[in-house]
């Protein structure tokens, strides 16, 4: 399967990434190679194989509903690029209409 | 378009008369509303009342200081592993069972990828293709009968954080503030099929759903605190047509009333577009509570692309029959069943049964009082729905905090039956019981409210009243029978309500007929 520039644009938009035209061409090329590699699987008949939900053969790893200590707000905010009081401060979410 | 038959349903008329989008006046809108019908489905999110969050041990608390209940897991810091809360899964299974769903024997979690600042991981752990429950239903009593509303799916996911916008609105703000206390609180998403055919049905369905969830004790379902949230999908089609219209998603519905009003508004808006021969465009709209209108939030030109994939940090769930049976054994009698039983077992009118069973606590109170009383259940119902409900409303008291024990209400009803107090005095007694939590006998003794049992004493007061009101007494003698009620009233006043009105009536008649 060939990945097009339009595909790259779409994925870049979803990932909030910006590329110039040269980079896009390179991305399309590389992504195509990756997808083609995975396409090797199409050579196998997987009609009888149910989709795998997890690579680890474990089930039902659960914990009891018990409260454990949280971080101090000061600690929680230590990596925040910006803060106001004990809130994380973030840039404008939506452009005004 | 010629004006057609009047709409039969009140809500359509109300919607047409309300501050709707009609530029061509109300009459045309009423006419077009009668030719179309809405198709409505609801997507409800409830916060489960676990002590801790879904994937970490942070407390799931409401109204805590900002960012005081976070940890590396719910903040989405690198290198952490979520661990699933067993209680949340059990609450999910319990709800799925109560909503008559098939419980998945194999279920898993998936990542839903999107960017939003209230979601610090940039993905939400949710369930995509293998939800906990599918294919259920709820029976809802609607105008003129029962409607079975199918439940498409019930799934577990984590809640997002809470954003506070600088200027109060998201679009007008140059920045927002994030509180991640709510991030990772367990949410149950309950999606109905588009089986609802009016805003009122949507309201009735929501009420029934809330009632069930509260019976199950899995969520407190407080819309004002955000522990119950509702989005609606509504499309409009010509009446009787099987082709569905373009669905519009409605957001920011912050109360049951808002759900009903926004749907009524939106039905009318879409019906008008269709009546003009135009097409409804697919979009998400926001209910503006202050202006009572829906406004465009965003167009849905293409399907959302969340790139779901299995959550590699969580292993799948296997829910065997033993586990389902164990959870099933914890199910209480649910409101629908209890409603039927109240009608059958206590001979209550459907109306009484519906009000009493809406809340489990109220229904429990009623049953405890009936058991202690042993008399007519309808009398208990009248007091619970009448005086008790009135005082609870007036004082803002929850049934759990009512100081009158069901046994005390029963004792008071027995005192009415044996003539110790009159039904009228009982209201005074009950008010005092409600305010103080005292037993009825104590209230009656302290306030001297025992009905006058001594016929001689009563006769003496009746004679006094006749003597003091000779004119009225003469009118009664002259055949103006209605005047007697005035004299009864005077006796009741003199005895401060402690007389038996029937006895007073009889004594008055004896005296006034013999001249």
Please provide the DSSP assignment of A43-62 as one string.
GS--TTPPPPS-SS-----E
Contact A89 B164 (CB under 8 A): no
> In chain B, what residues touch A77 (CB-CB under 8 Å)?
67
> Which DSSP category does B388 fall into?
I
> In chain A, what residues touch B164 (CB-CB under 8 Å)?
87
Query: HSE (CB half, 13 Å, CA atoms) of B41?
Result: 20
Ordered strands of the B309-310 beta sheet:
B123-126, B110-113, B309-310
> In chain A, what residues touch B130 (CB-CB under 8 Å)?
53
B21-79 confidence digits (pLDDT tens): 444 444 445 555 678 999 999 999 999 999 999 999 999 988 899 999 999 999 999 99
Confidence of residue B457 (pLDDT cuts 50, 70, 90): confident
Q: Which two tokens stand for residue B246?
A: 């373009």
Q: Which of B316, B235, B308, B248 is nearest to B283 (CA)?
A: B248
CA distance B385 to B391: 10
Residues 6+ away with beta carbon under 8 Å from B325: none
Contact B57 A68 (CB under 8 A): yes
pLDDT tens for chain A, 97 residues long, are 789 999 999 999 888 899 999 999 999 999 999 999 999 988 999 888 888 888 888 999 999 999 999 999 999 999 899 999 999 999 887 754 4
pLDDT of residue B219: 96
Give the three-class secondary structure for B110: strand
Residues 6+ away with beta carbon under 8 Å from B41: B152, B191, B192, B193, B194, B195, B196, B232, B233
Q: Which residues of A touch B (CB under 8 A)?
A: 10, 14, 16, 53-56, 58-71, 73, 76-77, 79, 84-97
Domain boundaries, chain A: 1-44
Mind spelling out the 3-state secondary structure of A6-46?
HHHHHHHHHCCCCCCHHHHHHHHHHHHHHHHHHHHHHHCCC
| Whether CATH 1.10.20 fits A1-44 | yes
- Tell me which of A92, A95, A96, A97 to substitute to probe the interface with B (most B C-beta atoms closer than 10 Å): A92
> Which DSSP category does B193 fall into?
-
Confidence of residue B240 (pLDDT cuts 50, 70, 90): confident
User: Can you give the pTM of this predicted structure?
Assistant: 0.83
Q: Which two tokens stand for residue B29?
A: 């809108």
Average of per-residue pLDDT across B277-283: 92
pLDDT of residue B42: 98
> What structural domains and CATH numbers belong to chain B?
1-34+246-301 (no CATH), 43-220+303-318 (no CATH), 335-447 (no CATH), 455-513 (1.10.10.410)
Task: Name the β-bridge partners of B164.
Answer: B177
Q: What is the DSSP pairing of strand A62-63 with strand B84-85?
A: parallel
Residue B40 burial (C-beta neighbours within 10 Å; 0-12, 13-18, 19+): buried
Contact B68 A86 (CB under 8 A): yes
């Amino acid at each position: 399967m060939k990945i097009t520039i339009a595909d790259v644009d779409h994925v870049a938009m979803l990932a909030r990434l910006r590329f110039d035209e040269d980079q896009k061409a390179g991305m399309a090329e590389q992504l195509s190679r990756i997808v083609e590699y995975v396409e090797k699987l199409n050579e196998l008949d997987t009609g009888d194989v149910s989709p795998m939900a997890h690579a680890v053969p474990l089930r039902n790893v659960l914990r009891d509903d018990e409260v454990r200590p949280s971080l101090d707000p000061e600690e929680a905010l230590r990596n925040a690029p910006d803060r106001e009081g004990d809130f994380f401060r973030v840039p404008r979410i939506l452009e005004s209409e | 378009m010629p004006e057609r038959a009047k709409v039969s349903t009140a809500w359509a008329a109300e919607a047409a008369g309300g501050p709707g989008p009609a530029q061509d006046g109300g009459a045309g809108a009423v006419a077009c509303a009668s030719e179309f019908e809405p198709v409505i489905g609801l997507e409800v999110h409830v916060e489960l009342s676990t002590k801790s969050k879904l994937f970490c041990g942070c407390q799931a608390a409401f109204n805590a200081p900002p960012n005081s209940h976070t940890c590396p897991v719910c903040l989405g810091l690198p290198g952490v592993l979520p661990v699933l809360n067993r209680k949340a899964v059990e609450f999910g299974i319990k709800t799925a069972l109560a909503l008559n769903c098939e419980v998945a024997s194999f279920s898993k979690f998936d990542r839903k990828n999107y960017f939003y600042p209230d979601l610090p991981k940039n993905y939400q752990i949710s369930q995509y293709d293998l939800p906990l429950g599918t294919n259920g239903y709820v029976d809802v009593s609607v105008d003129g009968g029962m409607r079975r509303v199918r439940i498409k799916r019930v799934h577990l996911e984590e809640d997002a954080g809470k954003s506070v916008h600088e200027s109060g609105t998201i679009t007008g703000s140059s920045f927002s503030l994030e509180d991640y206390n709510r991030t990772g609180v367990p949410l149950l998403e309950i999606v109905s099929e588009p089986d609802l055919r009016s805003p009122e049905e949507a309201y009735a369905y929501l009420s029934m759903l809330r009632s069930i969830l509260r019976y199950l004790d899995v969520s407190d379902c407080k819309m004002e605190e955000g522990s119950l949230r509702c989005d609606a999908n509504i499309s409009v089609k010509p009446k009787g047509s099987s082709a569905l219209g373009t669905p519009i998603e409605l957001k920011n519905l912050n109360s049951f009333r808002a759900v009903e009003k926004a749907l009524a508004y939106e039905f009318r808006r879409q019906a008008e577009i269709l009546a003009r021969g135009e097409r409804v465009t697919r979009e998400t709209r926001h209910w503006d509570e202050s202006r009572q209108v829906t406004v465009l939030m965003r167009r849905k030109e293409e399907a959302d692309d969340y790139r779901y994939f299995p959550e590699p940090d969580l292993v799948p769930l296997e829910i065997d029959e033993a586990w389902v049976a164990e959870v099933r054994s914890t199910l209480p009698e649910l409101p629908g069943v209890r409603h039927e039983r109240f009608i059958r077992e206590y001979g209550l009118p459907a109306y009484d049964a519906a009000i009493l069973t809406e809340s489990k606590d109220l229904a429990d109170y009623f049953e405890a009082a009936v058991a202690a009383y042993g008399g007519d259940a309808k009398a208990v119902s009248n007091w619970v729905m009448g005086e008790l409900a009135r005082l609870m409303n007036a004082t803002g008291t929850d049934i759990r905090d009512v100081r009158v024990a069901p046994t005390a209400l029963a004792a008071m009803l027995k005192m009415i039956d044996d003539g110790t107090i009159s039904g009228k005095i009982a209201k005074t007694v009950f008010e005092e019981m409600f305010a103080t939590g005292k037993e009825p006998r104590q209230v009656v003794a302290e306030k001297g409210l025992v009905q006058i049992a001594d016929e001689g004493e009563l006769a003496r007061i009746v004679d006094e009243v006749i003597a003091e009101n000779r004119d009225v007494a003469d009118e009664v003698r002259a055949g103006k029978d209605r005047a007697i009620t005035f004299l009864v009233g005077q006796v009741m006043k003199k005895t401060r309500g402690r007389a038996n009105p029937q006895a007073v009536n009889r004594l008055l008649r004896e005296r006034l007929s013999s001249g």
